[in-house]
Structure 1
Amino acid sequence: MINIQKPKVHFIDNQLLDPPNPVTVNLIGAGGTGSQVLIALARMNHALTELGHPGLWVRLWDNDVVTAANFGRQLFAESESGLYKSTALINRTNRFFGTNWKAETSNFEKDILRGFDINKQSSIYISCVDSIQSRFNIAEILNELKEIGGYYRSKGRYWIDFGNSQQSGQVLLSTIGKIKQPDSEKFDTVESLPFITDEFGDLLKISESQDDTPSCSLAEALEKQDLYINSTLAQMGTSLLWSLFRNGFIENKGFFLNLKTFQSQPIKVA
């Protein structure tokens, strides 16, 4: 008898597939990748609402201000110089798309969520941060959120992390705790997807020595991150989230990307 192995997949939490209210998102980081992800989320929100879904509601976290080094590679104009990145992006997005999303002019840190204020929690967390330590800090916060029981609108369910070097990067989708899966004869369903800090923690620590000092010019910034690596990651990474909403399940939980060789390697649900 031939033993046919069923493909492993993860089905989206039912509470997000057909919710009574917009799905809440905490987007952490408004720089090269975060600024691009915000626009992609706004487009996704519009598409979801056109399909009868309540859409998304986004809170953008970043305490950095716009400088000349941000023009060109990040989505900022000279007229926004000196403004908080989160405020500039959210104001522009709200005007263009008619949303009422919110900017937070502070970093996403444990002290901000002291007492785990439900109003600042979300169903989906998306991190677009530069430092390795920031990822481990986010993982610590989300691990504590796992311990909170019950069901409520902003209960944490997913974490998507975006990370990159000059010409390569990765995106990984994780679950915050276990997501109940339906019975399936066709698929082998997976209820828990590990955090990037658990699955690739050693690789993250190896790359911890990267230079995170601010760039003073676009030319200097391009020595650290190429012109299109952030926008390419943003489009592919949000496409992963879109697939989860549109199809209801995923077979790939992320990918590695090398823009120099134009190669992408999927990370299978396992």
Structure 2
Amino acid sequence: MNITKQKVHFVDNELLNPTNPVTINLIGAGGTGSKVLTALVEMNHSLLALGHAGLQVRLWDDDTIKEANLGRQRFSSAELGLLKSVALINRANRWAGTRWKAATTKYGLESFNDGSTKASATLTISCVDTVQARFVIAEILVKSGQTGNYSNRPKYWLDFGNAQGTGQLLLSTVGKIAQPKSELFDAVANLPFVTDEFADLLPKSESIDDTPSCSVADALQKQDLYINSALAQMGTSLLWSLFRQGMAVHRGFFLNLGEFRSQPIMVG
């Protein structure tokens, strides 16, 4: 009798038992990114308490804090005019005693082509607003994955995206991750990029109106108050399970906050 094995992905050992903190590039410090950073601070503290080497985060964003960012994003009126990445990283470092870094430029091909290793990290987390930004990230990850064997060679990409009241998260591998032999599971080495798997849907998933919001009320017409928080908590929960369980049965989800409904995306 043929028994269908459950498809799973076994996490790379560089996340589970690293000698040094796991390097993370967090791209975007807006509604979702600012809340993901807070979750990473909590995760780093918890991992260290469990004997793990922890996380080393670099936050990428070249935007400044405006009135429309207050309330929905994790900023206060005292921070108006400051760079988002600098304000958030300074706050995280003061609170947790970390030495995380702020990158005050866009995460782009220039960051990779100048020979700097800043564009490379074991884990990339994107919280970006445009389809084009995702394709740029995908291109950089492919190129980075083909160069050298340095410790922060990219292994995983976690992409957040949302409309006004809906959103999604998808976990991808950068190339194939070596999998152990298993009699119980069907181990999956490659999890496709969002830009490959959903290429036809991406242009339709984002609003054509990309003009800056002039007020908090205007911003809330584009993205509801708690969609970013819900995505950040669910997405970082998936990441936490990778560290704690060492394997993934789910590689993401679709979320409709207005209907309080989520749909998991299975591995394979």
Deviations 1:167-186 (A, max 9, x none): 00000000011100011111
Q: Aligned partners of 1:212, 1:168: CA distance in 2, in Å?
A: 17
Matching residue of 2:177: 179
TM-score w.r.t. length of structure 1: 0.97
Identity of aligned residues (%): 62
Greater alpha carbon shift after TM alignment, 50-59 vs 107-116: 107-116
Deviations 1:178-218 (A, max 9, x none): 10001111110000000000001110022355211110101
Matching residue of 1:53: 52
Q: Aligned partners of 1:43, 1:237: CA distance in 2, in Å?
A: 14
Matching residue of 1:28: 27
Letter in 2 for 1:258: N
Query: Following superposition of structure 1 onto structure 2, how do residues 136-215 of structure 1 map, counting pairs within 5 Å?
Result: 136-148=135-147, 150-208=148-206, 210-215=208-213
Q: Give SS of 2:8's match.
A: strand
Q: Give SS of 2:129's match.
A: coil
TM-score w.r.t. length of structure 2: 0.98
Greater alpha carbon shift after TM alignment, 207-216 vs 219-228: 207-216
Instruction: Give the Å deviation of 1:146.
Output: 2.6
Instruction: Give the Å deviation of 1:143.
Output: 1.6
Matching residue of 1:256: 254
Q: Which runs of 5+ in 1 are unaligned?
A: none
Q: Aligned partners of 2:121, 2:98: CA distance in 1, in Å?
A: 17
Q: Aligned partners of 2:158, 2:110: CA distance in 1, in Å?
A: 21
Q: Give SS of 2:90's match.
A: helix
Matching residue of 2:89: 90
1:102 aligns with 2:101: yes
Q: Aligned partners of 1:116, 1:181: CA distance in 2, in Å?
A: 31
Matching residue of 2:222: 224
Q: Aligned partners of 1:203, 1:216: CA distance in 2, in Å?
A: 29
Letter in 1 for 2:153: K
Q: Aligned partners of 1:251, 1:115: CA distance in 2, in Å?
A: 38
Q: Give SS of 2:99's match.
A: coil
Q: Aligned partners of 2:183, 2:114: CA distance in 1, in Å?
A: 42
Q: Aligned partners of 1:190, 1:34: CA distance in 2, in Å?
A: 29
Matching residue of 2:64: 65
Q: Aligned partners of 2:7, 2:142: CA distance in 1, in Å?
A: 24
Q: Aligned partners of 2:20, 2:31: CA distance in 1, in Å?
A: 30
Instruction: Give the Å deviation of 1:119.
Output: 4.3
Q: Count how many residue pairs are aligned between Structure 1 and Structure 2.
A: 268
Ranges of 4+ aligned residues in structure 1 off by more than 2 Å: 115-120, 206-210
Matching residue of 2:121: 122
Letter in 2 for 1:256: F
Matching residue of 2:265: 267
Deviations 1:113-167 (A, max 9, x none): 214422442100000000111111111111212322x432111000000000000
Q: Give SS of 1:52's match.
A: coil
Q: Aligned partners of 2:161, 2:93: CA distance in 1, in Å?
A: 26
Q: Aligned partners of 1:190, 1:115: CA distance in 2, in Å?
A: 34
Q: Give SS of 2:71's match.
A: coil
Q: Aligned partners of 2:150, 2:136: CA distance in 1, in Å?
A: 24
Evaluate the alpha carbon distance shift between residue 226 and residue 208 of structure 1 in structure 2; reply closer, same or farther with a 3 A threshold: closer
Q: Aligned partners of 1:41, 1:206: CA distance in 2, in Å?
A: 30
Matching residue of 2:234: 236
Q: Aligned partners of 1:209, 1:82: CA distance in 2, in Å?
A: 26
Q: Give SS of 1:166's match.
A: coil
Evaluate the alpha carbon distance shift between residue 119 and residue 127 of structure 1 in structure 2; reply closer, same or farther with a 3 A threshold: closer
